[in-house]
Amino acid sequence: MQPSRTKPISSIISTCHALFCFHRTGRLNNSNIKENRSVVQATSTKDWLSRLVQVKAESGVFIPIPTDLHIYEGIEVGPKSCRSLTKHGICTVHDLLNITTRIENGKLGDISDDVKEKLIKAAEWRSLNADVVITKSFTKEVFVEFCKNRMDKNSDVPSMCGDMKHICKIVNIPPKSCLEMRKRGILNMNDFINAQKSGAMNEILQKREDLRRGLMQVLKWRGDNSTANILKELNQDTYDDIMCKGEDRVKFAHKYIRLSLGRPFKEANQSIFKDVEADKVLYAEVVTQAKNIIMESPNLREECGKFDYGTVLEGCLAHFHKLAGHPERMQRIQAIQGDTQSKKTPAGIGVPMSMGGYLKVPVVVLTKGVDESIDLTEKIKDLTKGTLTTSEHVVFGGPARRIGMTRSAMDMQIKSAFDGINHSGVIVISDTEAQVKRAIRAIEYYLDRVPGGHIILIEDEADAMYRTIDSRQKFEQAFIKLQELASVIFKVTATPESLLPLLVESILSGELDERDIDFTRFEPQESYISVVEDVKPLEVNDKKIYFEQNEVNIKTEFTSGGVTVGYANDKTFALYDDAVSHPKGVCVLDVSCPRVRAENNILDKGKAVQAIYLARGIRIISITFAGSGIDVLLPSGLTTTAARKIPLRNGDEIRIDTETKATISEDDEWSFSFTNNDWQRWRNSLIGEVIECMDVVFGLNVPIFKFGYRKMCRCISFRSNRRVPTHMVMMLGRGYSIGSVIQTLGRNTGNSRSELKENGFDSVTILTTREDLNMAVRLRNYLKEINDRIQRGETFAQAVTGGNAAIPDDANFLRTTYRKIGQIKGLRKQFEEMVIFDKSQPLNQEEKDCFNEKYGNDADAQMLLRCLMRLASGEKANRLVHIDDIKDDLEEMEPNKIAGRRLRQLLGEFVDKCLLKKDGKAWIVANVTWLGALLFEEEEDDYDNEGEEDHDDSCEFSDRKLSEEKNASATSLPAMISHASQINVCDEKSVSSLSISAMEMQVVRKTAPIANVSPEKSTPELKKRKVSELEV
């Protein structure tokens, strides 16, 4: 994007400065990116200058162009001074030679005296070296040496000895400070020692502790190497080794971490902050030391697997370092994305938890669901082994009764964890207003003890926390207050598609600095069962079986042996049959019945399925999982009245409800006495514990069927130590978002490849819609594409939106789903307008086959396809298609009508198939070429050569009438085809590449189905007329 000729001069100068800063630092801020997007493509000085010249030529106004960049770099002028110099027009050698006159006239009042002195010296060097090439001769080292020689020529000031002059050069003492040392008589190492004791060096070096420490380290080295030749043996490498190996450096880094890093801003600590800020080697020591201690736990490192925790910690430590030197509150956002159940907890929660323990910064973990927060608390306690956060300071912040505590006792436990002076702690809460406010009270208690302290907030399942566009829910309002208190926010989720547009919008609006946002993908381990590679659709007779959207609903029933099962059909039981055909380890997840208490609920379904298989001689265990708790139904023949001794899982005490009549004996073993043929409620147990109990009591040979809906969509892992999900039935309603579908599919996944194979399974079998399964694959591709682009150097916003290059079509997850993004209304539309996807590819053969299998012989569907093609690509094409437009076209162009209810049903099904997009009371055609590809194909009957002797002469059309019919039809499809080759109704950003000839060849074979035509109208003449109308 080039600046226009009407752009104001100040704006162009700002653009030039942005380019100059990019050349020097490689960084751009938000406004600079908006000013000239082509900046990011400038990779060299030559390229950069050519762009400036082009801007100057096109703008028609004077633009100061710095030509001698090596001078700026050699004298180490900062970005702020560069901007001032550029505005003053000091950009060439000629301008530099006249610098003294400008300074004397007071025209450079906004330039510091130090920079003015450097410019005067650079001008003097240039005047003495007028014939040399600047790019080859002028360097930082040359300039420093020139300044020192210039000082030596001053007869009024005594010179340093050769060794002291060389030491000042190696330690990088500024020329101004060297001159002051000479004026004060500090000419050798003995003079320096005396000045150090008297405090004179503090005044000379202006509290530059790093320089003073460097001189002291060299002095110590000189004492250990008294016979060394300083001029020959003390070089830059030797100095770096001295500083790196010096015990003082390690102690100083530890001191800085203890006093400043992660602690509140204090004016008294600014000297030590400036020392670390100025010394890159010292800062590297600080980061290395902090990372080593944070990740010193072998358990945590092993649990993190291939996660790049080093990069994440470096970014967070840099942010805490920045906070140590700035009193204003700043925020950093670290997004961590990983596949569902891929053990993201160690990476997304364990690493920041350990960092908080080391820096004594309290950590708040927010997750979705009370049961989930209880489970997560136990996981975090396991991760504290070997870290500076103790398990006793990891506290549950939910309902106290759920863990057998009083509210006052829980409050005391939270206060103890949020000490902040001697240690820090972790509080785990769920997504309710009451629990968020409890965390805020804990933070306020901490801030009273440590004013100005910092907080780490971890949002587990972060996408589920953003619900309304105006944040009107009480939880959201409390959540916003909690976010405002945090200095670092970790957003951990497997489905960040709803967060990405919100973060990009915050960047573009200036609310967030893009440099304070990082996106990291957590790559799963080799044992991970993935939705993409390891979850396969159900196959019957080598044919893949899918649900149609809402195929299983309240009216759907399956009957066998007099037992009726609601929310099920023959496809459902085909998957059930495939599951029970395996000998052991069967675990079926059924997420298709949304009812919990009403008729035909999950309890009814679980009991009916168990009864059907019991009649077939197969005993299964039915488990339901809802918000009210866990219910277990055992079939007859499995119940035991004798006490069974079973060792506890992992040696931990497992909470068992007394309603199960199960008790824990004194020697930590379970004993059971179940009631037969009745649901047993397990209110205080986690689902994993229940499954483990069933496995230990009854073995792996008994299949387990789990029925649920909303509670099975997120956070929960439905597995035991030896049994993992093997089959799934999933049918979520149209109102469920993309994230909910992915999270539900993720209940099949996890690091369970060995357990799956041990039980005789190569993959997980699923029965769901083709659109939902394909969408999951494409979304995974999109998230990997973002991570890859960021690794290649793109900014967060560029990677998310495809700013540099369009996102590939195989990563366009919106192409195969109608579902909304997140819970915020309108977020999908915002995402579609923000992200640039590549041109959609043609439908593949599987997509065509699935459509034609259902609609190939459906006359109404074929008529609607032809109608939509005419409306979307004819001469009067509209982006929005209304129901009245469809009815008018059908009445005018089609011999038969479609009933109103049937028409709306087909339109809804076409939306499910992603052929249409719903927009209020109208529809948008997704892609005209897709409609043409789905018109039913059948072999043409040759009416001219076959059956001439058999047809009835009374039904024959005259040649004139046939010609009229052909001409009439020619005004629709040919015109439609011609227009379709010029537009793409779905995407206004792109133009369809379909050619007229290709479309003609595609449609010429298509004829209207006649299977559903009524007998009195199905005549040879009508068939012949149909062919004539549709031939192109």
pLDDT at 807 over 90: yes
For the record, the structure tokens of 823 come out as 């819970």
pLDDT digits (tens, 9 = 90+) for 143-161: 777 776 665 454 467 778 8
Phi, psi angle pair for 953, to nearest 5°: -60, -30
Using the 8-state DSSP alphabet, how is residue 346 labeled? I
Phi-psi region of 49 (alpha: psi -120 to 50; beta: other; left: phi over 0): alpha
pLDDT at 657 over 50: no
- Sequence-ordered alpha helix ranges (H) in 69-153: 69-74, 79-87, 93-97, 99-104, 113-128, 134-137, 140-152
SS3 776: helix
User: Using 50, 70 and 90 to split pLDDT, how confident is the model at 782?
Assistant: very high
* Bridge pairing between strands 629-633 and 764-767: unpaired
Given a contact cutoff of 8 angstroms between Cβ atoms, the answer to whether 55 and 2 are in contact is yes
Q: Output the pLDDT for position 538.
A: 95
Predicted TM-score (pTM) of this structure: 0.67
Calculate the CA dihedral of residues 402, 406, 408, 412 and round it to 10 degrees.
Answer: -70
Q: Output the pLDDT for position 268.
A: 84
Q: Output the pLDDT for position 264.
A: 92
pLDDT digits (tens, 9 = 90+) for 697-747: 888 999 999 999 988 887 788 999 899 999 999 999 999 999 999 999 999
Phi, psi angle pair for 253, to nearest 5°: -65, -45
Q: What is the Cα–Cα distance from 18 to 627, expressed in whole angstroms?
A: 55
pLDDT at 624 over 70: yes
Closest CA to 776 of 335, 339, 307, 337: 339
Mean pLDDT within 94-99: 64
Q: Output the pLDDT for position 57.
A: 55
Mean pLDDT within 432-442: 95
The more confidently predicted of residues 995 and 266 is 266
Q: What is the Cα–Cα distance from 156 to 586, expressed in whole angstroms?
A: 94
User: Using 50, 70 and 90 to split pLDDT, how confident is the model at 245?
Assistant: low
Rounded (5°) CA angle 602-604-607: 105
pLDDT at 662 over 90: no
The more confidently predicted of residues 625 and 643 is 625
Mean pLDDT within 811-829: 91
Rounded (5°) CA angle 698-700-703: 90
Phi, psi angle pair for 400, to nearest 5°: -65, -35
pLDDT at 985 over 80: no
For the record, the structure tokens of 651 come out as 């040696």
The more confidently predicted of residues 278 and 7 is 278
* Alpha-carbon separation of residue 504 from 498, 624, 820, 857, 987 (angstroms): 11, 41, 18, 47, 22
pLDDT at 182 over 50: yes
User: Using 50, 70 and 90 to split pLDDT, how confident is the model at 980?
Assistant: very low
CA 73, chain centre distance (Å): 38
For the record, the structure tokens of 473 come out as 């829910």
pLDDT at 8 over 70: no
End-to-end alpha-carbon separation of the chain, Å? 44
Closest CA to 501 of 779, 740, 833: 833
User: Using 50, 70 and 90 to split pLDDT, how confident is the model at 135?
Assistant: low
pLDDT at 33 over 60: no
Neighbours of 296 (CB within 10 A): 14
The more confidently predicted of residues 269 and 237 is 269
Average pLDDT of every residue of the chain: 77
Q: What is the Cα–Cα distance from 603 to 179, expressed in whole angstroms?
A: 88
Helix axes 280-294, 247-259, angle to 10 degrees: 70
Q: Output the pLDDT for position 514.
A: 86
pLDDT digits (tens, 9 = 90+) for 894-941: 888 888 899 999 999 999 988 888 888 888 888 888 887 887 654 333
Say which residues have a Cβ less than 8 Å from residue 432's Cβ, sequence separation at least 6.
370, 475
Q: What is the Cα–Cα distance from 21 to 82, expressed in whole angstroms?
A: 8
- DSSP output for 242-307: HHHH-HHHHHHHHHHHHHTTTSPP-GGGHHHHHHHHH-HHHHHHHHHHHHHHHT--HHHHHHHTT-
The more confidently predicted of residues 846 and 387 is 387
Given a contact cutoff of 8 angstroms between Cβ atoms, the answer to whether 1026 and 1008 are in contact is yes
The more confidently predicted of residues 424 and 18 is 424
Given a contact cutoff of 8 angstroms between Cβ atoms, the answer to whether 55 and 63 are in contact is yes
The size of the chain, in residues, is 1032
b vs e for 539-566, b when ≥16 Cβ sit within 10 Å of the residue's Cβ?
Answer: eeeeeebbbbbbebeeebebebeebebb
Q: Output the pLDDT for position 878.
A: 60
Mean pLDDT within 481-503: 93
SS3 326: coil
Q: Output the pLDDT for position 939.
A: 39
Give the dihedral sign, CA 915/919/922/924.
negative
Q: What is the Cα–Cα distance from 245 to 218, expressed in whole angstroms?
A: 12
Q: What is the Cα–Cα distance from 609 to 612, expressed in whole angstroms?
A: 5
For the record, the structure tokens of 927 come out as 């892609």
pLDDT at 88 over 90: no
Type of residue at 848: K
User: Using 50, 70 and 90 to split pLDDT, how confident is the model at 395?
Assistant: very high
Say which residues have a Cβ less than 8 Å from residue 370's Cβ, sequence separation at least 6.
398, 399, 402, 430, 432
Segment among 231-240, 473-482, 609-618 with least mean pLDDT? 231-240
pLDDT digits (tens, 9 = 90+) for 278-295: 888 889 889 999 999 999
pLDDT digits (tens, 9 = 90+) for 441-458: 999 999 999 999 999 999
Mean pLDDT within 768-792: 93
- DSSP output for 914-960: TSEEEETTEEEES-HHHHHHHS-B-PPP-TTTSSTTTS-GGGPPPHH
- The fraction of the chain above a pLDDT of 70, given in percent, is 72
For the record, the structure tokens of 834 come out as 């923000």
SS3 605: helix
